[in-house]
Amino acid sequence: MEKIIIGILLLLTVGCSLSGEKKEKEVRKYRNPILAYSVPDPTVIKAEDGMFYLYATEDIRNMPVFYSRDMVEWTLCGSVFAENSRPDFEPGGGLWAPDINFIGGRYVLYYSMSKWGGVESCGIGVAIADKPAGPFQDLGILFRSSTIGVTNSIDPFYIHDQGKNYLFWGSFHGIFGIELSEDGLSLKEGAEKKQIAGTAFEATYIHKKGKYYYFFGSIGTCCEGVNSTYTTVVGRAENLWGPYTDKSGRLLLENYFEVFLHGNDVFAGTGHNSEIVTDDAGKDWIFYHAFDRRKPGGRVLMLDRVEWEKGWPSVRKEEPALEAEVPFIEMKTVKE
């Protein structure tokens, strides 16, 4: 009898173990949108504390800051600016399309300030903070459309390449780049701007992978609700300054491109993507905004996995996922 009882206990133990193993391997899923209210033009960074921080155009006043442990569940933790620290170089202007970076041991955020339709008076500014949640100190304007000679100077993107700092920007009047100072807080003295893409694009993001630089941009209309035609497109080059081409070798300077992500029956206006973020399993992910046709309203926050096929990035079917496996994040890497 004693042997029978021990045997039963062993079976129960094995059963619990197998059940636990199965539970550990259970696939967690998320559903788009991951934030179902307006969070346009996202930019994201994994900070030194192991948390992810996300910033967006100020449909939430003074430019919202969110944090997350897993890239899926996001909590609003404040804003980049307060009323008494808000930039004022464009009176009555909105704060749009931030770009967050870690430069020289501090967090550097580039932002656009503009009124809708103010294509000559808008410009790009910069702010700094010691911590990703702020407080941020505004350092003011880098340049205006009128001073840099580029109409609609918004949508900044920073990249460090071969020991130098660069800023790219532009919206439907050409995409341009220029070298920045060593600390990234001003234009390099004597630097000259150079155009890298045509008039079809805005919302620049450049991603280096292998021997290629991948230019991501958005085309179409961003802000017409479910009638928006915003589409994310891509080209590539072997040099940061191009020439960027599509798969047939046609130039982005001549407004050619490859479609990366378009709308579908559920989501419209898929565009203005964030940086590509790599999870702890080595998989790449991208944030962007869209309009949810089921609940028309603001530009909601979306997340999709990026795959690489024959030297080009893609998302499944070139359209948003309704449901997908969550990114893999080792929670032990998060510092309390």
Residues involved in catalysis: 41, 202
The CA distance from 42 to 271, in Å, is 10
The CA distance from 297 to 59, in Å, is 12
Residues 6 or more apart in contact with residue 209 via CB below 8 angstroms: 308
Token code pair at residue 298: 């603001």
